[in-house]
């Protein structure tokens, strides 16, 4: 019995060490494969037209972020305040830059924390401001698309997004990252 336990421990000690390397790299890869395009596509719809479009959120950005308010003012965008501009501006740039930092593995822990906050605000906006009809619930045995509810629910999907990001907060970007390169160049223990 002692030999079996020793063999088990030897095998899974190696698996754990491999996981320390593989888990953050895999989390960044999955983020890039599944979420990078989603966030960038969404971010690009928020940029305004013209030379200064990077400073001026589009009308669509305000409609996405503040749908009930925009409707309440009859789509009169002149009634928007500095608060509305600042919120939309921060959102469009966060949605563009934070995913890029995660994929590059640069300041990954901070970028992942920022994305977790972004997803929390996005989810709040979807449910309480835009009135998304199905937040979903855990342990409801619905793990696939259900036409009756037009999806599986935001809670079901977004917890997986947050889980991937939580791995990056806990483990960092991994060996194949700009963070690892910066650590080697600066001699720092971690970034």
Give the model confidence (pLDDT) of 79-91 as tens digits: 999 999 998 899 9
What span, in angstroms and rounded, lies between the C-alpha atoms of 112 and 120?
A: 12
Residue 163: inside a domain = yes
Of the candidates 163, 157, 165, 159, the residue with the CA atom closest to the CA atom of residue 28: 165
* Rounded Cα–Cα distance for residues 141 and 13 (Å): 34
At 96, list the tokens. 């563009």
Place of tokens 């619905």: 142
User: Has residue 191 been placed in a domain?
Assistant: no
13 inside domain: yes
Per-residue pLDDT tens for 21-45?
A: 889 999 999 999 999 999 999 898 8
User: Is there a domain that residue 32 lies in?
Assistant: yes
Give the percent of the chain with pLDDT over 90: 42
Burial class (CB in 10 A: 0-12, 13-18, 19+), 165: buried
Using CB atoms within 10 A of its CB, is residue 17 exposed (0-12), middle (13-18) or buried (19+)?
exposed
Q: What is the pLDDT of residue 109?
A: 96
The answer to whether residue 185 scores a pLDDT higher than 60 is yes
Residue 146 pLDDT class (50, 70, 90 cuts): low
Q: Look at residues 150, 152, 172 and name the one whose alpha carbon lies nearest to residue 160.
A: 152
Residue 88 lies in a domain: yes
Residues 6+ apart with CB under 8 A from 145: 151, 152
pLDDT band for 134, please (50, 70, 90 cuts). Answer: low
pLDDT given for residue 2 in this prediction: 84
The number of distinct structural domains making up the chain is 1
Mean pLDDT of 59-76: 88
Domain span including residue 63: 2-186
Instruction: Name residues whose C-beta falls within 8 Å of residue 7's C-beta, 6 or more positions apart in sequence.
Output: none
pTM for the predicted model, two decimal places: 0.80
* Phi, psi angles (nearest 5°) of residue 47: -80, 140
Give me the chain's average pLDDT, please.
Answer: 86
* Contact status, residue 150 vs residue 137, Cβ threshold 8 Å: no
Report whether pLDDT(164) > 90: yes
């Amino acid at each position: 019995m002692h030999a079996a336990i020793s063999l088990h421990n030897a095998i899974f000690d190696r698996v754990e060490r491999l996981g320390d390397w593989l888990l953050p790299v895999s989390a960044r890869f999955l983020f890039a494969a599944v979420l990078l395009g989603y966030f960038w596509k969404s971010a690009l719809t928020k940029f305004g037209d013209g030379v200064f479009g990077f400073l001026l959120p589009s009308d669509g950005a305000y409609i996405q972020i503040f749908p009930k308010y925009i409707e309440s003012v009859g789509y009169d965008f002149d009634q928007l305040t500095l608060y509305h501009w600042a919120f939309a501006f921060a959102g469009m740039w966060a949605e563009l830059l934070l995913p890029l930092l995660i994929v590059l593995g640069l300041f990954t822990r901070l970028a992942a924390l920022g994305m977790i906050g972004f997803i929390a605000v996005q989810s709040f906006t979807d449910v309480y401001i835009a009135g998304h009809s199905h937040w979903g619930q855990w342990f409801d045995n619905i793990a696939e698309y259900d036409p009756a509810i037009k999806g599986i629910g935001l809670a079901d999907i977004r917890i997986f997004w947050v889980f991937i990001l939580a791995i990056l907060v806990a483990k960092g970007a991994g060996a194949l990252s700009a963070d690892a390169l910066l650590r080697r160049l600066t001699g720092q223990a971690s970034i």
